[in-house]
Structures are given as structure tokens and as C-alpha cells.
Amino acid sequence: MDGIKYVVFTEKSIRLLWGTINILLMSNQDQLGQK
């Protein structure tokens, strides 16, 4: 059970990190487009 919980927690963390990176990249592209 602990192993499964660890895998699920890791997957959620990676998805959160990836989502944050995508948002930052999108905001950077918007700023570049405005310049």
C-alpha cells in the first residue's frame, strides 16, 4: 500500500510541476508577444 501511495503522490507532484511550468511558459510567451 505504501508503495502505491508513493507512486500516486509522485505522479500528482509531477503533474502539478508540469502544469506550473506550462503556465509560466504561456505567460512568458504573452509578455514576448506584447513587446
Which grid cell sits at 7?
507512486
Q: What is the pLDDT of residue 35?
A: 59
Give residue for cell 506550473: 20
Q: What is the pLDDT of residue 23?
A: 94
Per-residue pLDDT tens, the chain, 35 aa: give them: 689 999 999 999 999 999 999 999 999 887 777 75
Q: What is the pLDDT of residue 31?
A: 75
pTM of the shown model = 0.60
Residue 2: closest CA among 28, 10, 29, 26: 10
Q: What is the pLDDT of residue 21?
A: 96
